[in-house]
Structures are given as C-alpha cells and as structure tokens.
C-alpha cells in the first residue's frame, strides 16, 4: 500500500470509528461529521499514543505509551477524560484521552510528539479529523 492509499485507508477508519468519552455524568459517543451530543464539552481533542502512524507495536508497548501520554497531560495540567476510538463492532478499540479546552495547534503538536497520524477535534459545529503532518491539506 503506497502512502496515498495508506492515508485514504486511515481516513476511512477514522471516519467510520465511534468515539466514546467517559464523562462524570456518563459516556457520550460521537462520530466525525455527525452532530455532537450536547453533554460533550468543546473544544475537545481525542489523542492517543496507541498504534502510532501505521505501526502496530502490540499491547504492552501501546499501554506504556498511553501511560506516558497520560503523565504528560497531568504534567501540563490539562483537563482530560478517559476516551477511546473503536470500530462499530467493538473488535478494535484504541484507548485515548479527551482533552478539554486544548487549542487545535496544541492538540496536533501533542499527537505528533507521540507519532500519531491524526486527531479528532470537536468544536461546537461538530467533530473533524486533523492530520498531523504539516501543510495546507492537513485538515479534512
């Protein structure tokens, strides 16, 4: 698979995924391009350290990377909630963090530092997919 096919495949997976955020009042779910639940605080970015880019390092390495991400969020004093992205069947789940109030650029920089290809960024108008590579076509 070349890089364009890989990007298109990843984009399809991100767009089909269901994103869940564990808020104190309960779990809310949403998808890129769909209306957001009213309970979801915005702006909000979903960032993970799981499966960076096209790599699949295995569960122990993914858990360790996500622990490092969680420690970094705490070190920065960023408010966050446990979250995850999953396929519709729930066969593939990637633990994430929903970071409340983070700026788009800061979310991208954080995700880049953990080798991620993209982040989901939610604002009042809905959720969008932001690609971590630089350039004018970085958001979709």
**Alpha-carbon span 70 to 80, nearest angstrom:** 9
> Global pTM?
0.89
Query: Average pLDDT, stretch 4-10?
Result: 79
Rama region for 42: left / alpha / beta (φ>0; ψ in -120 to 50; rest):
beta
**What pLDDT does 9 receive?**
82
Residue 63, C-beta contacts closer than 8 angstroms, at least 6 positions apart: none
**What pLDDT does 65 receive?**
95
């Amino acid at each position: 698979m070349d890089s364009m096919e890989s990007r298109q495949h990843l984009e399809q997976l991100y767009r089909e995924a269901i994103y869940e955020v564990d808020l104190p009042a309960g779990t809310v779910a949403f998808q890129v391009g769909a209306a957001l639940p009213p309970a979801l605080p915005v702006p909000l970015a979903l960032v993970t350290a799981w499966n960076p880019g096209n790599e699949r390092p295995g569960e122990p390495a993914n858990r360790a990377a996500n622990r490092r991400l969680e420690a970094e969020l705490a070190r920065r004093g960023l408010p966050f909630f446990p979250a995850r992205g999953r396929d519709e069947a729930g066969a593939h789940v990637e633990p994430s963090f929903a970071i409340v109030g983070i700026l788009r650029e800061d979310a991208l920089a954080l995700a880049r530092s953990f080798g991620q290809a993209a982040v989901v960024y939610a604002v009042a108008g809905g959720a969008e997919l932001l690609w971590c590579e630089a350039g004018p076509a970085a958001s979709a």
